[in-house]
Structure 1
Amino acid sequence: MFQRFIGLMSGTSMDAVDAALVQIDAQGSLKLEAQHSLPIPPELRTRLLTISHTNAWSADELASLDIAFSEHCTEAVLTLLRIAKVRPEEVVAIASHGQTIRHKPNLVPSYTYQIGDPTRMAIRTGIDVIYDFRRKDIAVGGQGAPLVPAFHQQTFAREKQSIVVINLGGIANVTWLGPKGQVLGFDTGPANTLLDQWIHYCYPDKSFDEDAQFARAGQVQTDLLEQLLRHPFFSKPAPKSTGREEFNLDWLKLQLADQEVPSEDVQRTLTELTATSITDALKTLPQQPDAIYFCGGGTNNPLLMERLAQLLSPAKCDTTKSLGVDPQWVEAMAFAWLGWCYEHKKPGNQPAVTGASHPVVLGAKVLHQ
């Protein structure tokens, strides 16, 4: 017997809302039934990007974006239901991550903030919505991120094997699954976010570097790479998490001030920054992995995947597809699973990962009626 949940995920790149319809059995094992990715329109994406890294906005703009993003998520859900030919009453709940516009777990007081009005979504879809997954972890002393390691443990852990799962989203995060059931995880730094921001700055009609063509035209600037790696986040011990608040275009421009670096060399160096920072992060694990599995949008970047395989050799590198889970849908499935955890009152955080004082049931719920 299984229950259906829909997981919604929009990450740091803010390029699309991913919606995954999953079947989850009584043991928490998942099966992906249907999926749909709805690109975020340029105008909405620009507004989201602006509000996420500036203070030049009003309460009216925040409220308007909250509604607009919720409507976009609702459209993704309704399209997914049509694709799957599933009725709303056949879905237990939508588990919506929302769109992060601020994540500052190291401030006092610490906070994280996601938008995407769950009440409107519940009313329009006719499905209960579980939301606000990060703030309870922060309330008990955690970073509120990353949250996917608990799902990775549920789905990918192998007895007597040391496995690493790396999500290459806007920000990269690593999960170590030890041979005796251990789990650790933390953000490693930028994966796609700086790459996407830089090419869009150079070519406003491009939102990402397709097939890494722009990066391949450049050369790694060693001095610039070393300068970027001096960002204090990279040497900070876990638990730790980050986002656009630290790694953004303004920060990158500051690093490039008074330097004449060809734009393609910057793109190539940013690719190397992602690969090097991930490689360095893995050196801090209690045990080196037997195998490394990648998921997220960065798996579509051939140059990044080549460099990671070279730097992480001789460890076996592959994507989560070889473990039976499409790498593009891991995060959306993870939030569907976190929704299932909420529904069954099971903790969804990992204190060893986030630094929380204890496990907690994550999320809150809005009924559709």
Structure 2
Amino acid sequence: MAGISIAGVSKGYGPQHARMMALQHLDLEIADNQFVTLLGPSGCGKTTTLRLIAGYVTPDTGSIDVGGRQLSSPARVISPEARGMGMVFQNYAVWPHKTVYENVAFGLKLRKLAGVQLRNKVEEALQLVNLGGLEARFPNELSGGQQQRVALARSLVVEPDILLLDEPLSNLDAKLRERMRSELKQLQRRTGITFIYVTHDQAEALALSDQIAVMHGGRLQQYGSPFEVYTQPANRIVADFMGLVNFVPGQIASLEGRQAKVSTEIGQDIAVPVAAGLEEGAAVDIAIRPENITLAAAADAANRARIRERVFLGNICEYTVALPGGALLRVQTHPLQQFAEGDAVVVSIDPGQCSVFSSEPVAEAKAVA
């Protein structure tokens, strides 16, 4: 097994004079034995990236290497079947007229395996995905989760070095999707295979991944661990996409090196590091997650934030808080901390959990899937 190196890869569709860029100058290093997720909204380039790795698409520029062996370039693309990779599709793609055993054995038969060796490999793959005893069933006799495991077993039985998964859980209900997340993670750990997973679901990416590649507009925005991309977003796009976030308007009141004090309508000057290029007096937005804001009852009600709305969600309470200047914050607290709608509250922000970005709007690049 070996790592994947993607260097300067671009891909567009359509005529040259009106080309829609699906992917622009992607550089990505994926280590061996990792669960890596390509995450982003529709049209960000994640599926195109997966298809490029699989060999279904030819890059316009750049190259894709696995273990030092070049698999893709504009001049030459190694065919998908010669790459040592498996792929699991969103719609499972199991054959309805074949049994579970026949579905899983199909790839091995193409490789001319037969007899005891074929049966042993199929049985091992079915045990790996917890489908032992269901060999004789047809897909219409299985649940959605079981059909998904058949697709996984069919890909794993040929012993790929890399497994590519294109939103494989999107057709499952919420509880089954959560259970399959856990099974996928355990499966990757047991097999040691590199998993490349495509999804638009942030919770899925956070739960499954060793590394997340956040994509937007055909470009890689950030590549890091789930903790890094959630708590230390590289830019406003990542901060906004990775779960709930508040953008609190502010202005840089003072600046020493890259350490700034930012005044906000919360009434709290926030000391935070800022990016190069931001100067004293600049308008900024402070990004802060709802769970990193604290509320306390106000001793006096004058010029205070107020609870606009309260929603009880079982494990948390979520509040919409109106600041004195009119801006709204979403705040999540322990369910035992109770405030009523209309209560005056003091809002506090932990500077260590903040990110600061220029308040100028971000221009969005056009891209296709």
Greater RCO (Cα-Cα under 8 Å, separation 6 or more):
1
* Structure with greater proportional helix content: 1
TM-score of Structure 1 vs Structure 2, range by shorter chain: under 0.3
Q: What is the TM-score normalised by the length of structure 2?
A: 0.26
TM-score calculated relative to the size of structure 1 = 0.26
